[in-house]
Amino acid sequence: MECNGPQCSTSRTNSCDSSSESCSCDGGCECPSGQDMLKFAEIMWHKAAMAAMFEVKKDKIKSRLEKSFGPTLDKGADAIVEAISKKIKNAVQSSKTEQELHNKLSSILTEATN
């Protein structure tokens, strides 16, 4: 059995590629009609095992990156959060200013039409 991204195939002639009607485009194979359900279960277990292996490898790399760059990444994350916080505060203040202007103009026009 092979798993090549969106293409999954077994030693049988059944395979799944982007031109196949029985293929989903999310990186996996749907169970084509007529396919042996036991073989389909085997394909799905293989796919799950490969996904789990990918996650384990990703976690290993993440822990090493944290050890090597943790303090630097923390400082970068702090800088980003600080910048976003300032942008949000400025947006809120700007919105308040716009609302105050709207209210003043509305009041002026209301007085002028009375």
Place 104 in a pLDDT band, splitting at 50, 70 and 90: very high
3 forms beta bridges with 8
Average predicted confidence (pLDDT) for the chain: 80
Of 9-18, 39-48, 57-66, 84-93, the poorest mean pLDDT is in: 9-18
Position 105 confidence tier, pLDDT thresholds 50, 70, 90: very high
The model's pLDDT over 56-81, given as tens digits with 9 standing for 90+, comes to 999 999 999 999 999 999 999 999 99
DSSP string, 29-85: B---TTS-HHHHHHHHHHHHHHHHHHHHHHHHHHHHHHHHHHHHHHHHHHHHHHHHH
User: Is-above-0.85 flag for pTM?
Assistant: no
Domain limits, the chain: 2-113
